[in-house]
Amino acid sequence: MHVPFLDLQKQYQTIQETLEPELLALMRSAAFVLGPTVESLEANLAQFTNSQYAIGVSSGTDALICALMALDIGPGDEVLVPSFTFFATAGAVSRVGAKPVFVDICKDSYLIDVAHAETLITKNTKCIIPVHLYGQLAAMDQVLALANKHDLKVVEDACQSIGASHQGEVKGVQGDMACLSFYPTKNLGAAGDGGMILTNDARLANRCFDLRIHGHDRLGTPYYHLSVGGNFRIDAIQAKVLDVKLRQLGAWNNKRQSNASLYNELLCDAVKTPVLLSENTSVYHQYVVGVKDRDALKLYLQNANIGSAVFYPMGLHMQECFKSLGCKAGDCPVTEQACLEVLALPIVPEISDEQIAYVAKTINAFYQ
């Protein structure tokens, strides 16, 4: 049996009949940049995430950069980021001239360790970026309490968690801003790159709307710029793809959750299945297990025609590009251990129960 890690063609077949006529109509309209298609996606995403404002941008990375720019984070500032995350979380901090300060994670959830974050705060710390990793929300009550105590801005990296909930309510943004990614592999993926900034603050929303078009006041006179922004616009074609897919996202997330439940039931005790924080509901962007002999298991699965992936093999504090920050092995020990143990299994909505059973049976056989 073949179990691919991801099959975007199979997903596309489920929306092809609806999407292609709408894309064709958009192409014929020649309205490719911003406009009503983007505005529709922004309105629908704001409603889906229970947010006041949604600003469509060119990628999840640009969402983080634009959000930090809107908060005036820059040279001389320090930003707390988990070391165990995708590179863009810290890369965006560096891109605006600030210094990423790497925080360890909690052993069971792989989410930011807020207690460790507090020990790293200095007079230059201006912001914290909690990452809602693998599809579940970070401990935002703790994050927000820390931010209030030390007067920090909060930018949520929600690139993997669209639709995730706490206490039964979908949480789009709880801090100052939250950033989404629509990279094709995400739960809600574009036909290329795309991103979104969520906020409940009208001033920050207007700032992001302006920054995404080179700091131009979108309601003012053309070619007059209030500040230096960037070309962070999402294009209408990506917005149309996402707006159509958004209609299916709830069902897709539900299927990921049922797939995760089946894995939890079938996998042996040698496998550490995902741990959720109290009252959290994950949307399982990734179903990540903790295992011994990870690399050997990955090869074993590959030989059985089963796809898997490692998110992430190295903590950001150990990356060569951040060597100048003076980080060293042992600074984030839980991250370093997780990098040796984590393995993502196929979890996409298109996978069948039979395929999941085959994956679990193969893993269990490895540990017998």
Residues 109, 124: one domain? yes
Q: Are 164 and 170 in contact (CB under 8 A)?
A: yes
Q: Output the six-digit token pair for 218.
A: 């979108």
Amino acid at 159: C
Which domain CATH number covers 264?
Answer: 3.90.1150.10
Task: Give the C-alpha separation, 363 to 357, whole Å.
Answer: 10
Residues 105, 190: one domain? yes
Q: 114: Cβ–Cβ under 8 A, 6 or more apart, which residues? A: 139, 142, 143, 146
pTM of the predicted model, to two decimals?
0.97
Residues 96, 181: one domain? yes
Task: Give the C-alpha separation, 309 to 12, whole Å.
Answer: 22
Q: Output the six-digit token pair for 93.
A: 């901090």
Residues 291, 215: one domain? no
120 CB-contact burial (10 Å; exposed 0-12 / middle 13-18 / buried 19+): middle
pLDDT of residue 218: 82
Residues 258, 170: one domain? no
pLDDT of residue 219: 80
pLDDT of residue 112: 98
pLDDT of residue 226: 87
Residues 272, 311: one domain? yes
Tens of pLDDT along 284-297?
999 999 999 999 99
Q: Are 3 and 263 in contact (CB under 8 A)?
A: no
Phi-psi map region of 344: left, alpha, beta (phi>0 left; psi -120 to 50 alpha): beta
Residues 178, 44: one domain? yes
Residues 17, 159: one domain? yes
pLDDT of residue 220: 80
With a cut of 50, which residues of the chain have pLDDT below it? none
pLDDT of residue 123: 98
Tally of domains within the chain:
2
Place of tokens 């590009």: 321
Is residue 2 domain-resident?
no
Task: Give the C-alpha separation, 76 to 81, whole Å.
Answer: 16
Residues 239, 323: one domain? no
Domain that holds residue 322: 250-366
pLDDT of residue 217: 84
Task: Give the C-alpha separation, 114 to 80, whole Å.
Answer: 10
Tens of pLDDT along 233-262?
999 999 999 999 999 999 999 999 999 999
Which domain CATH number covers 108?
Answer: 3.40.640.10
pLDDT of residue 119: 98
Residues 185, 238: one domain? yes
Task: Give the C-alpha separation, 130 to 329, whole Å.
Answer: 22
Please identify, among 215, 243, 271, the residue that sits at the C-terminal boundary of a domain.
Answer: 243
Beta strand segments in the chain, E: 53-57, 78-82, 99-103, 125-128, 153-157, 165-166, 169-170, 177-181, 195-199, 280-281, 287-290, 342-345
Is residue 92 domain-resident?
yes
Residues 24, 46: one domain? yes
pLDDT of residue 137: 98
